[in-house]
Structure 1
Amino acid sequence: MKKTLVLGASLKPSRYSNLAINRLVNNNHPVEAVGLRKGEVAGVQISTEKRGFKNIDTVTLYLNPKRQEEYYDYIISLKPNRVIFNPGTENPEFYDLLKKNNIEVEVACTLVLLASNQY
């Protein structure tokens, strides 16, 4: 199982980040979440702070490229194996930075990866 940080987590059930948390939990992946508002989704606490989570395999992004900038150093500091750029989060500048830090870049949809057993 791949411990995943959902960055840009939302309490709104219609948001893709919310759906991703639910599907990750349903697929037995441990989940951490950071968003704008504290709350809980599928038993996962959403933090509003950049916490020093341990053993993160995957960071899945739900932030537009401009909003990602303040998280560059934070994400790199977590030393994930990969970062998934979901639709609308594509960011070539950040791809380069991640690759320089030996972090895999995957431009994909977390929901599709889970649904097709490619996660």
Structure 2
Amino acid sequence: MEGSGLTERERRALAEIEDLMRDDDVLERQLRTMRLDPEPDPRPGPADLLRRPRALLLALLAIVCLGLLIAATVTTLLAVVCAFVVTWLVTLVVAVRLPGTARRRRRR
């Protein structure tokens, strides 16, 4: 295909736009200093998760839940079993809500 395929009017309009862009110092500086950063990994690592309060809460709840599970199996006291069940349910709720908040945060 020969030529640019643009009409004379379109070429003039394009040249005017390019001239205006060349005169914009802020745009020129931004384009000159722009770097292409690699896209961040969408899956956060364990250290990234622990920086977030909800993820830290989930980790602590999981540890408490495990401790209560061990105590409930050893002692078989109703109060310890009930404490384990409540802690386990809270842990599940926090765990289910955690990925949604991470996605919403990434969108912003």
> What is the TM-score normalised by the length of structure 2?
0.21
Q: Which has the higher contact order (CA 8 A, sep 6+)?
A: 1
> What is the TM-score normalised by the length of structure 1?
0.20
Q: Report which of the two structures shows the higher radius of gyration computed on alpha carbons.
A: 2
Point out the structure with the larger strand share.
Answer: 1
